[in-house]
Amino acid sequence: MDNLFVKMPRMRIGALIGKQGKTKKELEELSDCNIFVDSATGDVEISSEKANPITFYRLEQVIKAIARGFSPEHAKYLLDESFILNIINLHDLGIHTSKTLQTRKARVIGSQGAIRQFIEDSLDCFIAIQGKTISIIGNIENIRIAHEAILKLLKGATISRIKKYINRAKTNIDQISNTESNNINFDNEQERDILD
Which of 60-74, 121-135, 167-181 is predicted least confidently? 167-181
Count of structural domains, the chain? 2
Distance, in Å, from the CA atom of 78 to the CA atom of 148, rounded to the nearest integer, reads: 21
Angle between helices 140-154 and 98-109 (to 10 degrees): 130
pTM reported for the whole predicted model: 0.84
Residue 39 is part of a domain; what is its CATH number? 3.30.1370.10
Domain encompassing residue 124: 84-190
At residue 162, the pLDDT reads: 94
Query: Which SS3 state, helix, strand or coil, does residue 127 take?
Result: strand
Asked if residue 127 is part of any domain, the answer here is: yes
Residue at which a domain ends, from 71, 98, 118: 71
Per-residue confidence (pLDDT) for residue 176, from 0 to 100: 54
Say if 78 falls within a structural domain: no
Spell 33-69 as b/e; 16+ CB within 10 A means b. Answer: bebebeeeebebebebeebeeebbebbbbbbbbbbbb
